[in-house]
Amino acid sequence: MNAARPIRNLLATAAAAAALAGCATGPTANPKDPLEPFNREVSKINEDFDKGILRPVAELYSDYMPTPVQRAVENFFSNVSDVYSAANNLLQGKPTRAAEDTMRVAMNTVLGIGGLIDIATPAGLPKYKEDFGQTLGVWGVPAGPYLVLPLFGPSTFRDTAGMLVDRQADPSAYFYPVSLRNSLVGVRIVAGRAQLLGASNLLEQAALDKYSFLRDSYLQRRQYLIYDGNPPGGDDEAEADGAAPAPAATDPGAAPAPAQAPAAEGASAPAAEPPKPGAAGETQPEGQSMPVPPGLPGGLPGVRFR
C-alpha cells in the first residue's frame, strides 16, 4: 500500500491544481496557463532539487562513467521505450510504425545483447518516441491547462493522465527483484539528466524568463509530436475549447518533414536537440526537440512506483 503512495500524491497534486484553476483565472491570466502562480512555485522547488542533488550527480556520471557504458545504458532504456512506443503507434492507427518498433525491439534484444547495442538504427529502422499523452491527443482529448508536477516537471492535464498510463506500461517497472528495479530507476534518472546537461546550460544562457520559455517550448513540442512533425497553424491549446485535433500523419513510411510550431508569446523557435553520445545516425521522426527543465527533463524518465 505504501508503494502506491507516490502515485496517489501525484493524483492529489493534479486534483489540487484543478481545484485552484478557477481561483487563478482572471483578466490577466494566460489562457494556456491559468495555474501560473502555482506552477511557478513548483518550478522553483524542482529547480532547487535539481541544483542541489540531481544535476551534481548527473555531472559526476557524465564526467567519470566511460562513454561506452553511457552509450550502452542509453541504448538499453531506448530499447525498453520502443516496447510501449509500438503499443502507442498501434493505438494511434499507425500499424507500420508499430511493426517497425517491434522489429527494433526484437533485433536489439536478440542481436544487441539485451538492447545494450543499437543494431536496428544502422540497419535502417527508424526510432519513434510515442507515449500515451500523444495517443490521447490523436484521439482528440483536449490538452487542458499547463501543469508543473513536483519532480516530474512540465505537463498538462492530458499528459499527466498519459504519464500515469505510461508508468504502468513501462516494461522496466516489472523487473525483479525489487532492488534491481529500483537501481534501474535511479540509473535511468541520472543518465537521462546527464544527456541534457548541454541543453540546460544553453537554457540558462538564453532564456530571460526561464519559466515562460520552458512552458511555451513544452506546449509547442507536444503539439509537434502529436502531429508527427506537421502541426496545423493553430495552437494546440485551442483544444481546451473542445475542438479535437486533426488526425496525426499516418504515412508510416515517410519521415515527417521538419517544421516549427508557431512561437508562443515570445518564446524562441524550437531548438535542435544537442547530439547525444552514441546517437549518431539515429532517426528522430519527432523532429526538433525543445530544451527541457534543467535537472528534471520532462519529468523523471520511466519511473514507476509499486
User: Exposed, middle or buried: residue 23 (CB in 10 Å: 0-12, 13-18, 19+)?
Assistant: exposed
- Name the residue with higher pLDDT: 288 or 132: 132
Residue with cell 527508424: 126
Closest to 159 in 3D by CA, of 181, 183, 184, 142? 142
Residue 40: CB partners within 8 Å, gap ≥ 6? 148, 211
Neighbours of 170 (CB within 10 A): 21
Using the predicted structure, report yes or no on whether residue 304 has a pLDDT greater than 50: no
pLDDT for residue 136: 98
If phi over 0 gives left and psi between -120 and 50 gives alpha, with beta otherwise, what is residue 65? Answer: beta
Lowest mean pLDDT among 1-10, 56-65, 184-193, 252-261: 252-261
126: its cell numbers:
527508424
- Name the residue with higher pLDDT: 303 or 151: 151
Residue 62: CB partners within 8 Å, gap ≥ 6? 70, 194, 197
What are the beta bridge partners of residue 98? none
Closest to 129 in 3D by CA, of 174, 179, 192? 192
Find out whether 170 and 181 touch, Cβ atoms under 8 Å.
no
- Model confidence band, residue 18 (pLDDT cutoffs 50, 70, 90): low
Compute the mean pLDDT over every residue in the chain, rounded to the nearest whole number: 78
Side chain identity, residue 280? A
Lowest mean pLDDT among 16-20, 145-149, 174-178, 201-205: 16-20
Please give the average per-residue pLDDT across 233-253, as a whole number.
Answer: 46
pLDDT for residue 169: 87
pLDDT for residue 26: 52
| pLDDT tens figures, 71-97 | 999 999 999 999 999 999 999 999 999
- Model confidence band, residue 10 (pLDDT cutoffs 50, 70, 90): low
Q: State the DSSP string of 88-119.
A: HHHHTT-HHHHHHHHHHHHHHHHTTTTTTS--
- At 290 the three-state DSSP class reads coil
- At 154 the three-state DSSP class reads strand
- Model confidence band, residue 27 (pLDDT cutoffs 50, 70, 90): low
pLDDT for residue 94: 98
